[in-house]
Amino acid sequence: MPDAERNRIVIAGGSGFLGVSLAHYLAERGYAVTILSRSAVKLAGPWRHATWDARTLGAWTTELNGAAGLVNFAGRSVNCIKSPDHVDEILRSRVEATRVLGEAVRAVASPPPVWVQMSTAHIYGDPPRAVCTESSALGHGLAPFVGRAWEEAFRASVLPSQRGVVLRTSFVLGRDRGAGSGALGTLAALARWGLGGKVGDGTHGMSWIYEEDLHRLVERCLTNPEMCGVYVASAPHPVSQAEFMRELRRAVGMPVGLPATAWMVRLACRFLLRTDPELALYGRYVVSERVSREGFEFRVATLSVALADLFAKRQRMERVAAGAPSPIRPS
Ligand SMILES: NC(=O)c1ccc[n+]([C@@H]2O[C@H](COP(=O)([O-])OP(=O)(O)OC[C@H]3O[C@@H](n4cnc5c(N)ncnc54)[C@H](OP(=O)(O)O)[C@@H]3O)[C@@H](O)[C@H]2O)c1
């Protein structure tokens, strides 16, 4: 087997925001990447694509044979109105995809020795003030229910011989590489229009992680034999919603941000944004008590640095696209 093949990482659900950004990161570090998704990835990139239906075994399972690691990101976006059919798909896309990956690692002769499983920091629910860690009680409601089911499916699916790592991940702040950038794009647009103020009293938590730190953490999970079990994947300084929007306004250069009451948010989400108002009205503070203790250092630990870096990169890319000279003089 060629070296690159021995270094193959399979990213299930890898065609979206996080999968594409992780695939670029891993490929730059010399890994071979396979993306599993239900239709051909629209973007060209340094990966191989295999089609699956996220429910049944097929030719795609051979991608796992001899792979160095499996990363599972598959799951329908939660950024939608929670109609019964959407809720059903949110749950089934996660549980069934995880189960069939479990069947696949049992079907191949040489399964990947490590499986990194996405989970959500929303599994802790929406406690208004408590700061949740790996050892905190899980919450109540739809998101904790889905999170529990997702993690239970993973525990039942990971091979006894495999190292399994679960990342309860908070809001990922990252660039759009053609596969979206999660909710940050919408929040930044609101901030630019002067609508990025506090929601309600603005005290609910917004926990976040910079994409590069998530990539580094996933790579560490793949390669460090000590890492095992559940981790909170979130930067060490979560902020309130009001502070998050203040920093975002600063990053996009908009001095004002009109505040919104709960009923305004409910109307805007229902009729304009077509999403779940609870995503804006509630939040949580999470930090990890394991990640740093086990030697991982966040490169971007404060929100102002994360946002400044992201928006500076974006402006540089826009200038390059427009053919303008770079303000950075060569040394
Ligand atoms: N972005 C964040 O801030 C964040 C934070 C915490 C956790 N997460 C979780 O991380 C995962 C990836 O997030 P993302 O932001 O990259 O999401 P995304 O851009 O919406 O990508 C989701 C991925 O899941 C697949 N998928 C969507 N619906 C599916 C279905 N019904 N059945 C099987 N696969 C389906 C998509 O592949 P197809 O090409 O097959 O559609 C895509 O590759 C998700 O599970 C998300 O809940 C994200």
187 alpha carbon – ligand 1 mean position (Å): 19
- Contact 119 CB / ligand 1 (< 6 Å): no
306 alpha carbon – ligand 1 mean position (Å): 22
Q: Whose CA is nearest to atom 32 of ligand 1?
A: 93
180 Cα nearest atom in ligand 1 = 19
pLDDT score, position 328 = 44
Give yes or no for a contact between 100 and 110, defined as CB atoms under 8 angstroms apart. no
- Contact 172 CB / ligand 1 (< 6 Å): yes
Structure tokens that stand for 16 in this block: 């979206």
Domains of the chain: 3-180+209-234 (3.40.50.720)
- Contact 187 CB / ligand 1 (< 6 Å): no
143 alpha carbon – ligand 1 mean position (Å): 15
Helices 84-107/142-157 angle, 10° precision = 10
54 Cα nearest atom in ligand 1 = 33
Q: How many CB atoms lie within 10 A of CB 114?
A: 23
| Ligand 1 pocket mutation pick from 42, 47, 73 by most atoms within 8 angstroms of CB | 73
122 Cα nearest atom in ligand 1 = 6
pLDDT score, position 312 = 82
For residues 243 and 203, give the distance between their C-alpha atoms in angstroms, rounded to a whole number.
9
pLDDT, one tens digit for every residue, the chain (331 residues)? 446 667 999 999 999 999 999 999 999 999 999 999 999 878 899 999 999 999 999 999 999 999 999 999 999 999 999 999 999 999 999 999 999 999 999 999 999 999 999 999 999 999 999 999 999 999 999 999 999 999 999 999 999 999 999 999 999 999 999 999 999 999 999 999 999 999 999 999 999 999 999 999 999 999 999 999 999 999 999 999 999 999 999 999 999 999 999 999 999 999 999 999 999 999 999 999 999 999 999 999 999 999 999 998 777 766 676 776 544 443 2
What residues contact residue 263 under an 8 Å CB cut-off, 6+ apart?
none
37 alpha carbon – ligand 1 mean position (Å): 10
- Contact 162 CB / ligand 1 (< 6 Å): no
- Contact 207 CB / ligand 1 (< 6 Å): no
Structure tokens that stand for 30 in this block: 């010399």
Q: How far is CA 254 from the centre of its chain?
A: 27
Q: Whose CA is nearest to atom 23 of ligand 1?
A: 13
In 3D space, the residue among 148, 53, 43, 142 whose CA is nearest the CA of residue 104 turns out to be: 53
Verdict on whether the full-model pTM lies above 0.85: yes
166 alpha carbon – ligand 1 mean position (Å): 16
pLDDT score, position 331 = 29
